[in-house]
């Protein structure tokens, strides 16, 4: 699905959580939007998923302005305080929860099967927060893409945990090539490392 955010704004109690921001994310591609981690990008993620009231602007999926549709098809991945896994859980526990949320067979056995398919079988007892950023992204985007209704992935600042973005960018790109629309929030520094030239930035409109 093509996703278009046109001058989207989210108000806070004293100032905007999200200043007017625009982006266009076509299907089957990864679209990056730049800015530092913080309230603005959390607000943008919630707005794209139809989970917060807009103070201005419009969001359309394939030309439709439909908040219920947004809630069904947009999956929020690793958004702080929203969809990021809690600290202290093992990798297998997080995967089992994500599989259950996706309506798939869950439990530790199913989790280990999925991890084995990703080449991560030996991580099942590790704490999830101890994973490399690349492995974290691979697990969370894979399980989010398994939800039957998912058409759009919004990945929140995987670079906030450090590491080399080349470890996870190709995986997100491979998911996009299956037809998903992928929006990834990253810093300017990460865009430079990846060699990206993107017109989209938090608080910027055409």
Q: How does residue 206 score in pLDDT terms, banded at 50, 70 and 90?
A: confident
Give me the mean pLDDT over the 3-30 stretch.
95
Q: How many CB atoms lie within 10 A of CB 49?
A: 22
Give the integer Cα–Cα distance in Å for 133 and 85. 13
b/e string for 111-129 if b means 16 or more Cβ within 10 A?
A: bbebbeeeebeebbeeebe
Q: What share of the chain is helix, strand, coil (3-state, %, to 5)?
A: 40, 25, 40
Domain boundaries of the chain, sorted by first residue: 3-83+150-194
Q: Over pLDDT 70: what percentage of the chain?
A: 100
Residue corresponding to tokens 């076509």: 26
Q: What is the pLDDT of residues 190-200, one digit of tens each?
A: 999 999 999 99
pTM of the model: 0.95
* Mean predicted lDDT score pLDDT of the chain: 96
Handedness of CA 91, 142, 122, 159 (dihedral sign): negative
**Helices (H), ranges, 23-181:** 39-48, 67-73, 91-101, 108-117, 133-145, 169-176
**Helices (H), ranges, the chain:** 39-48, 67-73, 91-101, 108-117, 133-145, 169-176, 188-194
Q: What is the pLDDT of residues 77-127, one digit of tens each?
A: 999 999 999 999 999 999 999 999 999 999 999 999 999 999 999 999 999
Structure tokens at 23: 């982006």
**CATH 3.40.50.300 describes domain 3-83+150-194:** yes
Q: What is the pLDDT of residues 15-28, one digit of tens each?
A: 899 999 999 999 99
Q: What is the pLDDT of residues 153-201, one digit of tens each?
A: 999 999 999 999 999 999 999 999 999 999 999 999 999 999 999 999 9
């Amino acid at each position: 699905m093509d996703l278009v955010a046109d001058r989207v704004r989210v108000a806070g109690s004293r100032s905007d959580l999200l200043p007017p921001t625009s982006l266009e994310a076509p299907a089957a591609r990864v679209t990056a939007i730049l800015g530092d981690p913080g309230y603005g990008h959390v607000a943008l993620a919630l707005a794209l998923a139809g989970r917060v009231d807009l103070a201005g602007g419009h969001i359309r999926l394939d030309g439709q302005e439909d908040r219920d549709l947004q809630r069904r098809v947009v999956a929020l991945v690793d958004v702080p305080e929203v969809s990021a896994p809690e600290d202290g859980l093992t990798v297998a526990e997080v995967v089992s929860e994500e599989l259950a949320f996706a309506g798939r067979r869950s439990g530790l056995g199913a989790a280990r099967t999925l991890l084995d398919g990703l080449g991560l079988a030996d991580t099942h007892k590790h704490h999830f927060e101890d994973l490399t950023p690349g492995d974290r992204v691979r697990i969370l985007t894979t399980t989010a893409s398994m939800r039957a209704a998912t058409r759009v992935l919004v990945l929140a600042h995987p670079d906030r945990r450090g590491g080399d973005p080349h470890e996870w960018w190709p995986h997100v790109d491979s998911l996009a090539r299956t037809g998903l629309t992928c929006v990834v929030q990253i810093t300017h520094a990460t865009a430079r490392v990846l060699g990206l030239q993107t017109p989209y930035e938090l608080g910027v409109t055409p």
